Amino acid sequence: MCVFLVFSGIGAYWTHLGQTLFLNEQRFFMSELVNSQASAFERRLSRSLSSTSILAQGVFEHRGPIPNFDDYANSVLESVGGVSNLQLAPKGIISFIYPLEGNEKALGHDVLADDARSKEALLAVKTKMLTLAGPFELIQGGIAVIGRKPIYLPARKGDVFWGFASALIYLEELLKATELDSLEAKGYSYQLFRIHPDTGDKNVFAKSVSNLTDDTYMVSIQVPNADWTLEMSRSEPVKNSRAVIGYIISVIVGFFAAWIAFYILEQPKKLRKVVYQKTRELNFQANNDELTGLYNRRYLSEQLERVLKENTRYHHPAALMYMDLDNFKRVNDVMGHGAGDELLKQIAIRLKEAVRESDIVTRLGGDEFGILLLDSESVSDARRIAEKLMHVVERPVYLNGKPFEVSLSIGITMIPTDGDDNETILKNADMAMYSAKKTGKRNFRFYNAALQREAIQKLELENDLYVAVCEDQFIVHYQPIFSLSTGKISSYEALLRWNHPHLGLIYPDQFICVAEESGSIIEVGYWVIQEVCNQIKKSASNYKFSINLSPKQFQDPRLINKFRSIIQTSDIDASLLEVEITESSVIEDSTAAIKMLLKLKKLGISIALDDFGTGYSSLSVLKRLPIDRLKIDKSFIQDIEQESDDRNIVEGVISMAHKLRLNIVVEGIETKNQLKFVKEVECDYGQGYFCGKPAPFDQL
Ligand code: C2E
Ligand code: CA
Ligand code: CA
């Protein structure tokens, strides 16, 4: 608005100045013009009137009427110009007229006696000066003035009035000397007038066709014994339209300037808006998880740091919940990743709704979530919320119209009791969560010192495992597998033991999963294969030997080559080897698993599926796997006496396996009754403490 006012104000002021300058110029020009016209008129009149002086001179020279008046007058008319006729009026009576033609009526007229004209004549006599009569309309037409010069001739008693020398001058002739005609054509108006000395009336005796405007310029014309006035104006006022255009342009310029200023001022505003928007987007991207819209791990760490800092000052207790969905992998495998994503989104919404607005709900990655509970006063508060979270998550989630049930394992750390930096708090919560998982999932665990000890032990074990292979700390025990029909040993299963330098003999349950997690299981596994082959070679035994393969090792791309080279260097028969794989090895990518199994079979190695019944293998998958033996997990045989269900399952599995032309091994036979049972259900092989415990080869 200001810019508009300033610019249009400046424009208007300029226009005003220009207008004033223009008007001043116009005025100056007009006054010059009027003056020049008036002086042209005056010059012409005085020239024409000079004819009376020449006539008077002639009378003076001849002391009376001029002989050959006509010739004399003719020569005067030619030299002076603009005069219509010349007259001599001795004693006031018009006696000579040149040219006479058309003026005959005037002859003999006594100007001193004529009422209408005597006034100027008498004045001339009285003042001895030229007087001007008129203008008046002539009988013969036209407007004219008459100049009368009184003539005095010398006599003894002084000068004696002789009469008048007169010139009749048409006003038209006088006007011709000016440019008024052509000026009229250019848009100027004029009038020539006088104020009658007696009546005070204004006599206009010449004027333009168009009337004068209000803005007129006047100049007086000096004529003998009278005062005439020439008044002029410019008929068309250019100035106004110019000024209007000027003002309009000012407004337009003002408007544009205001618009440009507005536009320029608007730019930083727009830019600020864009920057603000972009910053928000970037912040969102930096702090949030794309899939669920929850906060991400980075944001959680930041908030944890803030909470810890505030805690040292204000003692606001808080809690961190580290959550993992149980069995999420199964949803992904069975329903596809799209459904998996949908599940995560729905769970995210439920978690968010279950806690307070101020609590920070985050997705830590995969199927892991974290919630930072602010102002969680006590352990019982946290417990209550953990129970609520488990409850909301357990409600079935509908994916493609089908209900799915998932559960939560939660690890909880209290802040600041369970750690004073965010790394420790996250790590401890993670540890508690793993512990909840280990104790059967669908569970929550608070972090405590025991967990910490366990974790440290795990870490130490991990480190010890790295040196164990090099330092030859492992040994293999062998457990016989019997043919149930003959009662004879058919094969041996190789079971790993670790002769730990400080802890003594450790069993696989204590270190296999650590080795799995750290990856050292692969090297350990190759050591076992080598060791078993050495044993076969050394003992020259004809028994089959089963070797357990961890899922990680089963996926190792070097596996086939390693087997081949070990078999070659040990120089044994590959058909004496069997590998035991678990369902988890084949469930993820069954096509790749089948390829690998076929390669093993091609080497001559037979294959057993271990711990059958604890995983999720469907019969359709089982049908496709190129396996030779199925090992039914010991859990089925353990409660065989009490649970008739287990009996039925074992029977069912055996008949099914037989249909698929697979041999069955039942593990974990600990009692006579169990042995009796497996024999009854026509199981092929048996393994267990009752038949033979694992022992070093030379003690078998
Ligand atoms: P697994 O493959 O199911 O091996 C059988 C386990 O059952 C062995 O435990 C064995 O000692 C135990 N067992 C045998 N008979 C009975 C019985 O009558 N009652 C009971 N309760 N248990 C019985 P172990 O040796 O402690 O091995 C545990 C697991 O460690 C094995 O389970 C196997 O999965 C893994 N493992 C052992 N050796 C190796 C190995 O060299 N490599 C890999 N990757 N895993 C191994
Ligand atoms: Ca086994
Ligand atoms: Ca087993």
The closest-lying atom of ligand 1 relative to the alpha carbon of residue 476 is: 41
Strand partners, 160: 153
Is the CA virtual torsion 430, 435, 438, 443 positive or negative? negative
**Quick check: 664 pLDDT over 90?**
yes
| Helix 297-314 / helix 422-438 crossing angle, nearest 10 deg | 110
pLDDT, tens digit, 9 for 90 and up, residues 386-416: 999 999 999 999 988 888 889 999 999 999 8
How far is residue 584 from each of residues 88, 201, 493, 494, 613, measured CA to CA in Å?
154, 132, 20, 20, 12
Give the separation between CA 475 and CA 438, rounded to whole angstroms.
27
Domains and CATH numbers, the chain: 1-287 (3.30.450.350), 297-447 (3.30.70.270), 457-699 (3.20.20.450)
- Rounded to the nearest angstrom, the distance between the alpha carbon of 665 and the centre of ligand 3 is 10
**Quick check: 334 pLDDT over 90?**
no
- Rounded to the nearest angstrom, the distance between the alpha carbon of 569 and the centre of ligand 3 is 29
Whether a cis peptide bond, with omega within 30° of 0, leads into 135 is yes
The answer to whether the beta carbons of residues 496 and 474 sit under 8 Å apart is: yes
How far is residue 673 from each of residues 468, 590, 634, 641, measured CA to CA in Å?
40, 37, 14, 8
Give the separation between CA 104 and CA 112, rounded to whole angstroms.
19
The answer to whether the beta carbons of residues 492 and 482 sit under 8 Å apart is: no
User: What is the rounded average pLDDT of the residues 353-362?
Assistant: 94
pLDDT, tens digit, 9 for 90 and up, residues 69-81: 889 888 888 888 7
Q: Looking at residue 377, what is its pLDDT? A: 67
Q: Exposure string (b/e) for 560-582, b if CB count within 10 Å is 16 or more? A: eebbeebbeebebebebbbbbbb
Neighbours of 511 (CB within 10 A): 25
- Rounded to the nearest angstrom, the distance between the alpha carbon of 611 and the centre of ligand 3 is 4
| Helix 590-603 / helix 559-570 crossing angle, nearest 10 deg | 10
Q: Looking at residue 516, what is its pLDDT? A: 92
548 CB less than 6 Å from ligand 1?
Answer: yes
pLDDT, tens digit, 9 for 90 and up, residues 501-534: 999 999 999 999 999 989 999 999 999 999 999 9
646 CB less than 6 Å from ligand 1?
Answer: no
pLDDT tier at 665, thresholds 50, 70, 90: very high
- Rounded to the nearest angstrom, the distance between the alpha carbon of 303 and the centre of ligand 1 is 46
Tell how far CA 40 is from the center of its chain.
78
User: What is the rounded average pLDDT of the residues 301-305?
Assistant: 93
- Estimate the share of the chain in helix, then strand, then coil, as percent rounded to the nearest 5: 50, 25, 25
What residue spans of 395-475 are helical by DSSP H?
422-438, 449-470
The closest-lying atom of ligand 1 relative to the alpha carbon of residue 516 is: 44
480 or 646, which is more confident? 480
- Rounded to the nearest angstrom, the distance between the alpha carbon of 508 and the centre of ligand 1 is 7
Give the separation between CA 436 and CA 323, rounded to whole angstroms.
10
Give the mutation target among 473, 482, 495, 636 for probing the ligand 1 site: most ligand atoms within 8 A of CB: 495
User: What is the rounded average pLDDT of the residues 591-618?
Assistant: 90
pLDDT tier at 335, thresholds 50, 70, 90: confident
**Quick check: 239 pLDDT over 60?**
no
Give the mutation target among 535, 667, 669, 687 for probing the ligand 1 site: most ligand atoms within 8 A of CB: 667
Strand partners, 88: 96, 165
Give the separation between CA 219 and CA 26, rounded to whole angstroms.
16
Per the structure block, which two tokens stand in for 480?
């016989």
User: What is the rounded average pLDDT of the residues 427-448?
Assistant: 90
User: What is the rounded average pLDDT of the residues 331-349?
Assistant: 91
Neighbours of 665 (CB within 10 A): 27
Kindly report the protein residue whose alpha carbon is nearest to atom 4 of ligand 1: 495
Kindly report the protein residue whose alpha carbon is nearest to atom 30 of ligand 1: 508
Rg (CA), the chain: 67
Looking at the CA of 612, which ligand is closest? 3
Average pLDDT, the chain: 88
The answer to whether the beta carbons of residues 369 and 410 sit under 8 Å apart is: no
Kindly report the protein residue whose alpha carbon is nearest to atom 35 of ligand 1: 508
pLDDT, tens digit, 9 for 90 and up, residues 526-571: 999 999 999 999 998 899 999 999 999 999 999 999 999 999 999 9
For residue 54, give the H/E element and its range.
Answer: helix 2-62
**Percentage above 70 pLDDT, the chain:** 97
The closest-lying atom of ligand 1 relative to the alpha carbon of residue 507 is: 26
pTM strictly above 0.75: no
Q: Looking at residue 14, what is its pLDDT? A: 81
User: What is the rounded average pLDDT of the residues 335-355?
Assistant: 93
496 CB less than 6 Å from ligand 1?
Answer: yes
**Quick check: 185 pLDDT over 90?**
no
Q: Looking at residue 642, what is its pLDDT? A: 67
Task: Name the region of 312 (left: φ>0; alpha: ψ -120 to 50; beta: rest).
Answer: alpha
Q: Looking at residue 288, what is its pLDDT? A: 93
525 CB less than 6 Å from ligand 1?
Answer: yes
528 CB less than 6 Å from ligand 1?
Answer: yes
pLDDT, tens digit, 9 for 90 and up, residues 4-35: 788 778 878 887 887 788 778 877 888 888 88
668 CB less than 6 Å from ligand 1?
Answer: yes
Q: Which residues are near ligand 3, the ion (C-beta closer than 5 Å)?
A: 610-611, 667
The answer to whether the beta carbons of residues 561 and 595 sit under 8 Å apart is: no
Q: Looking at residue 333, what is its pLDDT? A: 82
678 or 617, which is more confident? 678
692 CB less than 6 Å from ligand 1?
Answer: no
Q: Looking at residue 274, what is its pLDDT? A: 92
Per the structure block, which two tokens stand in for 19?
């207008």
- Rounded to the nearest angstrom, the distance between the alpha carbon of 132 and the centre of ligand 2 is 155
579 or 92, which is more confident? 579
338 or 330, which is more confident? 338
**Quick check: 139 pLDDT over 70?**
no
- Rounded to the nearest angstrom, the distance between the alpha carbon of 685 and the centre of ligand 3 is 13
The closest-lying atom of ligand 1 relative to the alpha carbon of residue 508 is: 30
Q: Looking at residue 599, what is its pLDDT? A: 97
Give the separation between CA 629 and CA 687, rounded to whole angstroms.
13
Question: Which SS3 state, helix, strand or coil, does residue 470 take?
Answer: helix
pLDDT tier at 53, thresholds 50, 70, 90: confident
**Quick check: 619 pLDDT over 70?**
no
214 CB less than 6 Å from ligand 1?
Answer: no
**Percentage above 90 pLDDT, the chain:** 43
Give the separation between CA 19 and CA 240, rounded to whole angstroms.
9
Q: Looking at residue 240, what is its pLDDT? A: 62
How far is residue 403 from each of residues 325, 335, 407, measured CA to CA in Å?
16, 12, 13
pLDDT tier at 311, thresholds 50, 70, 90: confident
For residue 315, give the H/E element and its range.
Answer: none
The answer to whether the beta carbons of residues 86 and 51 sit under 8 Å apart is: yes
The answer to whether the beta carbons of residues 664 and 633 sit under 8 Å apart is: no
Q: Which amino acid is at 35?
A: N
Per the structure block, which two tokens stand in for 35?
């003056």
550 CB less than 6 Å from ligand 1?
Answer: yes
Q: Which residues are near ligand 2, the ion (C-beta closer than 5 Å)?
A: 548, 580, 610
620 or 625, which is more confident? 625
Give the separation between CA 294 and CA 410, rounded to whole angstroms.
18
Q: Looking at residue 25, what is its pLDDT? A: 82
Measured at the CA of 481, the angle between CA 476 and CA 487, to 5 degrees, comes to 145
Kindly report the protein residue whose alpha carbon is nearest to atom 42 of ligand 1: 548
Give the separation between CA 437 and CA 411, rounded to whole angstroms.
9
CA dihedral 565, 570, 576, 581 (to 10 degrees): -50
Backbone φ, ψ for residue 481 (5° rounding): -120, 125
598 or 118, which is more confident? 598
Looking from the CA of 138 toward its CB, the CA atoms found within 13 Å total: 18
Question: Which SS3 state, helix, strand or coil, does residue 92 take?
Answer: coil
Q: Looking at residue 618, what is its pLDDT? A: 64
Give the separation between CA 341 and CA 355, rounded to whole angstroms.
22
pLDDT, tens digit, 9 for 90 and up, residues 240-250: 677 788 788 88
117 CB less than 6 Å from ligand 1?
Answer: no
The answer to whether the beta carbons of residues 332 and 342 sit under 8 Å apart is: no
132 or 11, which is more confident? 132
- Rounded to the nearest angstrom, the distance between the alpha carbon of 386 and the centre of ligand 3 is 35
Q: Looking at residue 694, what is its pLDDT? A: 97
Lookup result for tokens 């929850």: 294
13 CB less than 6 Å from ligand 1?
Answer: no
Q: Looking at residue 613, what is its pLDDT? A: 82
